[in-house]
Chains A and B, each alone.
Chain A
Amino acid sequence: MDAPSPQEAKEALALIEETTRRMRRAVAHGGAPYFLIIWGVVWLLGFGGAHFIGPNNAHTGWLWAILDTLGVLASFGVGWRLGRRVRSRNGGGALLGAFWLAWVFYAALIIAFARPQSGDQLSLLISLFAMMGYVTTGLLYRSTFITTLGMVVTLFILAGYLLFLPYFNLWMAFLGGGSLIVAGVYVLQTWR
């Protein structure tokens, strides 16, 4: 076989670039849209429910407990499914799962000792810890998209708490949960 012409070489390099790009997205970001949509729905229903039930109502706590449990189970399901497609001998996916479990554990401890004064403060702290997790994960995985998303939602959280406190839960349902869902759907549509 003769060496290819410059045009054929250019086409081969373009094919390599395109395949590499698709692969990196499928592997590095393959799970991201599903996690974003799952937790966006949890926030939408949780904060939406908290607004209508009342942030300090005991039923709101139960609603969050149920939604968070479903969110964690769904996330493990997605993680397990993804782990079957690409596996790492050093357990990269399991490491990310362990990172988030440790994150949740310490966030829960800190919040428990901080004793928030109201349901709104509790929502604020949980949301900020969640976004701290997004930004850290984005930095670890060198994902500008996840890092930026975490920072933007953090701004929404702070703006909602400082400027629109009476509507904070409703604000978080639509701008917090909504942002995560829109970002997840956007990734699904464009990163394939």
Chain B
Amino acid sequence: MEGFDEIIHQSARLQIMAALNALDDDSQMEFSALRELLGLTDGNLATHLRKLEEAGYVAVEKTFVGRRPRTYLSLTPQGRQAFANHVRALREIIGSA
């Protein structure tokens, strides 16, 4: 199935991609805010983010606010395209049934 993406399709990663895709192109979400929104643990979210980052779908930016480290996340253009293709593939599966 063209556009169907095994990396994205896993449930937690699908939610991460959907959440970050809902942001504007120039916006980033803080790690803990995404964790709270999706109800994932630190370790679980970090593991899935690593996989998405390795695929080139998620950009991770580590920075400091005052003395506190913060991690900001966003979709890369490649990630947005892959997510759009994946959604289209899912719709085609439903349409062809």
Contact = CB atoms under 8 A, between A and B. Distances in A.
Dominant SS among interface residues on chain B: helix
Given A6-B94, A13-B90, A27 B14 contact: no
Contacts of A26: 33, 37
A87 B87 contact: no
Interface stretch (A17-25, A43-51, A98-106, A114-122): A17-25
A94 interface: no
Given A6-B94, A10-B94, A12-B9, A87 B14 contact: no
B30 A85 contact: yes
Interface residues of B, number: 33
A13 B15 contact: no
B87 A16 contact: yes
Given A16-B14, A22-B37, A26-B37, A88 B24 contact: yes
Contacts of B28: 86-89
14 contacts: A12-B14, A19-B14, A20-B21, A23-B18, A23-B37, A27-B23, A84-B30, A86-B23, A86-B29, A86-B33, A87-B27, A87-B28, A88-B28, A89-B27
Interface of B: 1, 4, 6, 9, 11, 14-15, 18-19, 21-24, 26-30, 32-33, 37-38, 65, 70, 72, 87, 89-91, 93-94, 96-97
